[in-house]
Structure 1
Amino acid sequence: VTSRVYGFVTEYSLVAVPMFVLMASLLDRSGIAKDLFNAMRVFAGRLPGGVAVQTIVVAFFLAALSGIIGGEIVLLGILALPQMLRLGYDKHLSIGVVCAGGALGTMMPPSIVLIIYGLIASESIADLFTAAITPAVILMLSYIGYVLVRCLRNPAMGPPMSDADREEGFANRWQALRAIIVPGLIAALVLGSIYGGVASVTEAAA
């Protein structure tokens, strides 16, 4: 048991874990995550359940940037939950969206859970990352579909935003688009370097 534990904790790939945690902290402290949420508000439009849908999309972006579930749920709880409750969203739907969206962090690469599983099971972490994208996207689309169906059938569960609420924080759509491009570029560089064989998981994390 001792030799197995020692062999596990001295694995070089494990260095990726604190690196991805650091990246999540930088996203939080730099305000990129908040800008991303505000930008998605502009594009959500007056769709019933629009804020819940944008929360799930932002959660997917954050999962592709951080790979940790705890910090993501806290961040969404601070940014999205008060917004949904203020707009009169159903309390259970709002909390469910935050928890379900945050849970995407365990599936969407660079998931720390997948890194640890790959080390324990002696599987290629890059292969696990590649395999996890499809179910992660399916999960996200399923959550969005569920929210839209519930809110279209019962608009009181997710009232549409007013124009003033929608444009709060960004003067125009170009500003909002820039706020989406930056985190998208980070995710593309991190995951693209892994899938393209340019860098290992540890190098991409650094």
Structure 2
Amino acid sequence: MLRPFISDAAMGILMLVLFLFFLMLGFPIAFTLMALGVAFGYYSLGDSVLPLFVQRTYSVMANDVLISIPLFLFMGYVIERANILDRLFRSIQLAAGWVPGSLAVATLVTCALFATATGIVGAVVTLMGLLAFPAMLRAGYDTKLAAGVVCAGGCLGILIPPSVMLILYGATAGVSVVKLYAAAFVPGLMLASMYMAYAIIVSSLYPQLAPRLPAEERNVPMMKVVFELFTSFVPLATLILGVLGVIMAGLATPQEAA
């Protein structure tokens, strides 16, 4: 079959436009991508695309690394149902009450910790949007700043292990997921630290964007803060160390740790 008279760049743009069109119509993402891939592949390669489609589908489904994805999803679901995030956010907020933009800092720290437990960007953004965003608005935070903090913190799940994106990339490109985790861990922490530094600096320079909490919410007994941190942080930290520790140490693969 002769190659159609259309450039690769034009075909890519057309696929993107059609993908967005069907997405806005409400079609599922997975089936939209599959249909576009088969249609454009058949248009370019002819009948040979069908055996390639079956072969590629089997090779992906036979990859045991992908088993860890639903298991990490389940781990994040268990953490959410156990109400650990709510208590963790509250305890970090109490501990950081003296810091300018304490609610923003607490949101970013909670996002980073939850990202290490689930690795799903959508889950982090959704949960923190329901948990932290209303709290920041009630405290008088600027809407743009509050939304930016939640979105930026939620995107940490792309870098901080156990990132599902890194699992998919490793399985597709044939790269060791353990090496990807080791390479992405420090940049993820650096990105989280820069987000927190930005929130503190902006809150200090423009206090009207992130008002300080009332004195009664900042002056909390130290023992209460320690107790809240211990009961909320220790269970999550134990889970994180148990999962990431064995992966980084090379004692288990991601699917075994999950």
| 3-state secondary structure, aligned to 2:251 | coil
Output the amino acid matched with 2:75.
Answer: M
Identity %: 35
Counterpart for residue 97 of structure 1 = 149
Output the amino acid matched with 1:84.
Answer: M
Output the amino acid matched with 2:126.
Answer: V
8 A contact 2:166–2:177 mirrored in 1: yes
> How many residues end up aligned between the 2 structures?
204
8 A contact 1:46–1:162 mirrored in 2: no
Query: Hey, what's the Cα distance between the residues in 1 that align with 2:226 and 2:99?
Result: 20
The structure whose Rg is larger is 2
Shift of 1:171: 7.4
Output the amino acid matched with 2:166.
Answer: L
* TM-score, normalised with respect to structure 1: 0.94
Query: Hey, what's the Cα distance between the residues in 2 that align with 1:114 and 1:59?
Result: 18
Query: Hey, what's the Cα distance between the residues in 2 that align with 1:114 and 1:143?
Result: 21
Q: How does 1:42-191 map to 2 (within 5 A)?
A: 42-166=94-218, 172-178=224-230, 179-191=232-244
Counterpart for residue 87 of structure 2 = 35
| 3-state secondary structure, aligned to 1:157 | coil
Shift of 1:108: 0.6
The answer for unaligned runs of 5 or more in structure 1 is none
Q: Deviations over 1:19-58 (max 9, x none)?
A: 0000111111110111111111111123221100110011
Query: Hey, what's the Cα distance between the residues in 1 that align with 2:174 and 2:249?
Result: 21
Moved over 3 A (4+): 163-168
Counterpart for residue 194 of structure 1 = 247
Q: Deviations over 1:56-99 (max 9, x none)?
A: 01100000001101111111011100110000001100000000
Shift of 1:176: 1.5
Query: Hey, what's the Cα distance between the residues in 2 that align with 1:151 and 1:58?
Result: 19
Select the structure with the greater relative contact order (CA < 8 A; seq sep ≥ 6): 1
Query: Hey, what's the Cα distance between the residues in 2 that align with 1:29 and 1:184?
Result: 17
- CA RMSD of superposed structures (Å): 1.5
8 A contact 2:72–2:118 mirrored in 1: yes
Output the amino acid matched with 2:205.
Answer: R
Counterpart for residue 27 of structure 2 = none
Q: Which deviates the most, 133-142 or 170-179?
A: 170-179
Output the amino acid matched with 2:237.
Answer: G
| 3-state secondary structure, aligned to 1:79 | helix
8 A contact 1:59–1:102 mirrored in 2: yes
